[in-house]
Chains A and B, each alone.
Chain A
Amino acid sequence: MESTEALIDCQSVWKVFGDRSDEAIRAIAERDLTKQDILRQYNCVVGVSNASLQVRRGEIFCIMGLSGSGKSTLIRLLNRLIEPSLGRIMVKGRDIAALDAAELRQMRARHIGMVFQSVALLPQRTVLENAAFGLEVQGVPRDQRNRAAEAALAKVGLSDWKARFPAELSGGMQQRVGLARALTSDPEIILMDEPFSALDPLIRRQLQDEFRQLTKDLGKSAVFITHDLDEAIRIGDRIAIMKDGIIIQTGTAEEIVVNPADQYVADFVAGISRLHLIRAHSVMQPLVRWQGVTDGLPRCSPDADIDALIGLITSTGSDAVAVEEGGRLLGIVTIRDLLLGVRGETEARAA
């Protein structure tokens, strides 16, 4: 299922805002300049700085950062709502900077859906007409586009609301319509720009799970922007953490929590529950360091999470769990390892 093909390939992309951005870009290309240097010397703001990322087919890729980190700029570079200052962005193998106006419209209409934080449902149109907007723009006949829109609304559970106007819907329902609108044109890539940030926590959780399920079921790829690390972990297959326009770290939730790239990321992940995030293979110690016998120990797979290991230990009364794969012992997880794991420290780091 996991394919390594990169649907979106962002190569050393920069975005610099300001009247003298051309000069600033030339200077960046020639010598190493920091964001502060560029602001001081050229009075230009660096939105995105030397960002590289690949989004694979079928993957949900989260970009996490606080406000001002450049994440909203970065996602708008992917469908060229913002033109990059430097670097290359390949979408489905095509350099999107090289597309002419008509090709770019085609690309956006057919291959890249987008969902906004503000939802942006047209208030004069019904839910159905909003959901069908993308196909209407492409000139698809009314019957056909309404059928597609109804199918998309059914997927987000809003079939009964198609004749209503956006103002009659709650915030969560409106965002569902936003998602249905993006799905109606059946694009391969969906860009989600902080879609759930304005919703209350319970609804947000529910939509996160629905979104992940739906995206996986339909085999879509998504880039999901958020300022909430919990959300990124819940939704993303991989996560990129941004600060000051720079991608500090890219990896799975577990990689980031276990091995934060710097203090900033470490502070961020400090409050995250490790129970379902960290797996046996990250906390186990090598067999050679285990002095006791392994025969009577309960067994688990390397992918078992800490929560499962705690369950094993408490139910069997054992001091340790043996990790095995395909009948071969890989290592041992002691209670100490588990406790360190819960705190986000592995044996190697603690020692």
Chain B
Amino acid sequence: MEELVSAFDAQVDNALFWLADHASFVFDFCRLVLEGLYAGVLGLLMLPPFYVIAALAGLLAWRVLGLVPGVVTAAALALCAAMMLWPETMSTLALVIAATVIALATGLPLGVLAGLLPRLEKLLTPALDLVQTLPPYIYLLPSIALLGYGPATALIATVIVAMPPAIRLTALGIRQTPREFIELGHATGVTPLQMFLKIRLPFAVPSIMAGVNQSLMMAFGMVVIAGIVGSGGLGETIYGAIRTLDIATSINASIAIVVLTMVLDRVTQAAARTK
């Protein structure tokens, strides 16, 4: 039995090494794309001074949530800058945005397909169960072996963690179109595409938006953990503070994370409700 297990382990290691050796061009390319996306978003966020970003975020929160949340949002972001954590906060935000965009770009279409094809959903469900039950650290190891230390690895691991809720909730939304509306569509003579766009999709929007919000929150959780693999940003700040037992810095960084999370959560939830 022991031999069997070590043989299996050896196989896994070999496979990983083989991939790293022979398919490195694939992973180099992935790394380039991921880091490019991240750097692009970060560049955009760092372009204006902090108060412009804080004011824009406050404006957005004001529009969807009201005046008080708007002011609080702007003030909370300004606090992040006051704690000398602005670049870290923005690089965490850039990671979250980049990871969520990738997770949604793959998760939403997959969710739609799973909602339309019960067989695909049957196939996906155990895979998603597995991804969601494994401790999220697990995804850092193979990523670091293939992509090396840095934001690309953090991104891939974050995408893996953030994708399942988007797939699940999109599939749920597409699947649960009330029967009478499907019948209405058929009786009206809709094409299959019209059935999807005009009937199934509008009913699925609230569920899909809940999925987007969930993905975003999962991405936040993972981005901080990914500080271990050199993601940069607040995650790495906290990881560094833990190693040097710098409690004050770790608390500051935690406050910044809470601020970012709350703002994004409330704004996306409100946006989901109004549409």
- Tell whether, in the assembled complex, residue B186 and residue A124 are in contact, meaning their CB atoms are under 8 Å apart: no
- Tell whether, in the assembled complex, residue A120 and residue B181 are in contact, meaning their CB atoms are under 8 Å apart: yes
In the assembled complex, B3 has its CB within 8 A of some CB on chain A: no
**B231 to nearest A CB, angstroms?**
40
Shortest Cβ distance from B183 into A: residue: A81
Q: Which stretch in A12-20, A62-70, A100-108, A227-235 binds the other chain?
A: A100-108
Q: Which stretch in B28-36, B63-71, B143-151, B190-198 binds the other chain?
A: B190-198
Given A116-B180, A122-B199, are A81 and B188 also a contact pair (CB < 8 Å)?
Answer: no
In the assembled complex, B184 has its CB within 8 A of some CB on chain A: yes
Q: Which residues of A contact B199 (CB under 8 A)?
A: 122
Give the contacting residue for A108; candidates B188, B198, B202; CB below 8 A: B188
- Tell whether, in the assembled complex, residue B189 and residue A138 are in contact, meaning their CB atoms are under 8 Å apart: yes
In the assembled complex, B187 has its CB within 8 A of some CB on chain A: yes
Q: Which residues of A contact B190 (CB under 8 A)?
A: 105, 137
Q: Which residues of A contact B202 (CB under 8 A)?
A: 122, 124
Bound together, the chains give a CA A242 to CA B108 distance in angstroms of 47
- Tell whether, in the assembled complex, residue B183 and residue A116 are in contact, meaning their CB atoms are under 8 Å apart: yes
Interface size range on A against B: 20 to 34
Shortest Cβ distance from B191 into A: residue: A105
Q: Which residues of B contact A107 (CB under 8 A)?
A: 189
- Tell whether, in the assembled complex, residue B189 and residue A114 are in contact, meaning their CB atoms are under 8 Å apart: no
- Tell whether, in the assembled complex, residue A109 and residue B189 are in contact, meaning their CB atoms are under 8 Å apart: yes
Bound together, the chains give a CA A81 to CA B186 distance in angstroms of 7
Bound together, the chains give a CA A79 to CA B187 distance in angstroms of 7
Give the contacting residue for A137; candidates B180, B181, B188; CB below 8 A: B188
Interface string of A75-99 (1 = CB under 8 A from B): 0000101000000000000000000
Q: Which residues of A contact B198 (CB under 8 A)?
A: 122, 133, 136-137
In the assembled complex, A236 has its CB within 8 A of some CB on chain B: no
Most interface-central of A81, A107, A110 (chain B CB within 10 A): A81
Main secondary structure of the interface of B (DSSP, over half): helix
- Tell whether, in the assembled complex, residue B184 and residue A116 are in contact, meaning their CB atoms are under 8 Å apart: yes
* Contacts of B87-131 to chain A: CB distance below 8 A: none
Shortest Cβ distance from B195 into A: residue: A137
In the assembled complex, A11 has its CB within 8 A of some CB on chain B: no
**A81 to nearest B CB, angstroms?**
6
Give the contacting residue for B189; candidates A106, A118, A124, A191; CB below 8 A: A106
Bound together, the chains give a CA A297 to CA B181 distance in angstroms of 61
Give the contacting residue for A120; candidates B183, B189, B194; CB below 8 A: B183
Interface string of A102-136 (1 = CB under 8 A from B): 00111111101010101010101000000001101
Q: Which residues of A contact B194 (CB under 8 A)?
A: 137
Interface string of B67-93 (1 = CB under 8 A from A): 000000000000000000000000000
Q: Which residues of B contact A120 (CB under 8 A)?
A: 178, 180-181, 183-184
- Tell whether, in the assembled complex, residue A105 and residue B189 are in contact, meaning their CB atoms are under 8 Å apart: yes
Q: Which residues of B contact A191 (CB under 8 A)?
A: 187
Shortest Cβ distance from A125 into B: residue: B202
- Tell whether, in the assembled complex, residue B189 and residue A81 are in contact, meaning their CB atoms are under 8 Å apart: no
Q: Which residues of B contact A106 (CB under 8 A)?
A: 189
Q: Which residues of B contact A118 (CB under 8 A)?
A: 180
Interface string of B190-233 (1 = CB under 8 A from A): 11001000110010000000000000000000000000000000
Bound together, the chains give a CA A120 to CA B203 distance in angstroms of 12
**A116 to nearest B CB, angstroms?**
6
- Tell whether, in the assembled complex, residue A114 and residue B187 are in contact, meaning their CB atoms are under 8 Å apart: yes
- Tell whether, in the assembled complex, residue B188 and residue A109 are in contact, meaning their CB atoms are under 8 Å apart: yes
Q: Which residues of A contact B180 (CB under 8 A)?
A: 116, 118, 120
Q: Which residues of B contact A109 (CB under 8 A)?
A: 188-189
Shortest Cβ distance from B190 into A: residue: A137
Shortest Cβ distance from A134 into B: residue: B188
Shortest Cβ distance from B187 into A: residue: A114
Bound together, the chains give a CA A134 to CA B194 distance in angstroms of 11
Given A124-B202, A137-B198, are A108 and B181 also a contact pair (CB < 8 Å)?
Answer: no
**B246 to nearest A CB, angstroms?**
52
Bound together, the chains give a CA A191 to CA B188 distance in angstroms of 12
**B49 to nearest A CB, angstroms?**
41
Shortest Cβ distance from B201 into A: residue: A124
Bound together, the chains give a CA A243 to CA B180 distance in angstroms of 25
Q: Which residues of B contact A138 (CB under 8 A)?
A: 189
Q: List 6 A-B contacts (CB under 8 A).
A: A109-B188, A116-B180, A116-B184, A122-B198, A124-B202, A138-B189
The 4 closest A-B pairs by CB, nearest first: A109-B189, A108-B189, A105-B189, A114-B187
Which residues of B come within 8 Å of A, CB atoms? 178, 180-181, 183-184, 186-191, 194, 198-199, 202
Given A114-B184, A137-B198, 14 other A-B residues pairs in contact with their CB atoms under 8 A? A79-B187, A81-B183, A81-B186, A81-B187, A104-B189, A105-B190, A106-B189, A108-B188, A109-B189, A114-B187, A116-B180, A133-B188, A134-B189, A191-B187
